[in-house]
Structure 1
Amino acid sequence: MEDRSKLALTAIRKILRASELNSKQLMRETGLTPSQLIFMQVLDGHGEQTAGYVAAHMGITQATATALLKKLEAIGMIHRRRGEKDRRQALLSITDDGQKILAKAPNAVHAEFQQHFSRLKDWEQMTLVAALERVADMLDPDHDDAAAVLDHVMELSGEAQ
């Protein structure tokens, strides 16, 4: 294997390891996956909203958002109620228990990355994005449906949501 290839694979492994360690810490401290935490953070930051709104802000499908909200509702983190004007609409909000979890949640690897990434110059950001997209295409050329959430399957039930 070429030295550059080894360096690239080592860098990918470091990214995966950081994500995995963060996911484990988050699960230990809150019982949530990164996707669940981000779902709650989007909802918390924008008040009562629909699952579609949260899905759009997270870059996930409506089906994934529905799975996340069902799990979060089942564990008492979010509350769902019918809209007053449109009874077909379900409005979501964070419960008191959910607020407590959000307050104690460790800083996610996503937040750390965003903080450092935002400090880069525009050309550096564009170069990194292009390189990462190229790597993603090399590893999985047939799938463009990934969300901007680093998540690992960690729940006891075996589901990533």
Structure 2
Amino acid sequence: MDDRTKTVLTAMRRILRVTDGNAKALMRETGLSTSQLVLLQLLEGGGEKTAGEIAARIGITQATTTALLNKLVARNLIQRRKGEADRRQVWLSLTPAGHQIVAAAPDGVHERFQQRFAELDDWEQAMLVAALERIATMLGAKDLDAAPIFDATAIDTSIETTEPN
């Protein structure tokens, strides 16, 4: 293995370690996964939303959204309300406990990355996007359904495995 390959693999491993460490720290401090916190933050910033809106905004499947919502409802962090005009529609919002946990949650790797990435020049952003897309293609992961959430504990029910149990 040449030096550049080792450097790239080491950098990728560092990214995985920092995201895993962030997810574990969040779980210890709040009992939430990164995906759950991102979902709560989305509701914090925008009032009531439907599950479909949340799935589209976060970039996860409807099934994954439902699983996350059920856990958050069970913890009394989110409440469901039937639509008045259309009773089939369900509106989601934070409970007071949900607001408290979002306020108390530590800043995560997402916030740091988003802030620092936004500070880069356009050409630097484009270069990083191109390089990471190329790496995803090289690893055979270009077409995997993945949300823009660094969460090693995330549930993704859209990926089926063919490996034996």
TM-score category, normalised to shorter length: over 0.9
Q: Does 1:44 align with 2:39?
A: no
Distance in 2 (alpha carbons) for counterparts of 1:160 and 1:144:
14
- Identity among equivalent positions (%) equals 56
Equivalence for 1:64:
64
**50-59 vs 8-17, greater mean Cα deviation:** 50-59
Secondary structure of 1:16's aligned partner: helix
Query: Does residue 1:89 correspond to 2:89, yes or no?
Result: yes
| 2:107 alignment counterpart | 107
The one-letter code matched in structure 1 to 2:119 is R
Kept in 1: contact 2:43–2:94 (CA 8 A): yes
1:12-39 deviations in Å (ceiling 9; x for gaps): 0010011011001100111000000000
Look up the SS of the partner of 2:16 in the other structure. helix
Letter in 2 for 1:6: K
**Deviation string for 1:96-122 (max 9, x for gaps)?**
111111011000101100000000011
> Is the 1:33–1:160 contact (alpha carbons within 8 Å) kept by the matching residues of 2?
no
Q: Runs of 4 or more off by more than 4 Å in structure 1?
A: none
What does 1:1-161 correspond to in 2, within 5 Å?
A: 1-141=1-141, 143-153=143-153, 160=155
- The number of equivalent residue pairs is 156
Tell me, yes or no, if the aligned pair for 1:80 and 1:92 is still in contact at 8 Å: yes
Question: Shift of residue 71 of structure 1?
Answer: 1.1
Mapped partners of 2:30, 2:96: distance in 1: 14
Q: For residue 59 of structure 1, what is the amino acid of its counterpart? A: G
Structure 1, unpaired ranges of 5+:
154-158
Q: Residue deviations 1:35-63, cap 9 Å, x none?
A: 00000101111101101111111111212
Aligned-partner SS, 2:29 = helix
Amino acid at match of 1:28: R
| Helix, strand or coil at the partner of 1:91 | strand
SS of the residue corresponding to residue 144 of structure 2 reads: coil
Q: Hey, what's the Cα distance between the residues in 2 that align with 1:111 and 1:7?
A: 25
Tell me which residue corresponds to 1:156. Answer: none
Residue 144 of structure 1, CA deviation = 3.0
CA contact (8 A) 1:34 1:150 kept: yes
1:142 offset after TM fit, Å? Answer: 6.1
Question: Normalising by structure 2, what TM-score?
Answer: 0.90
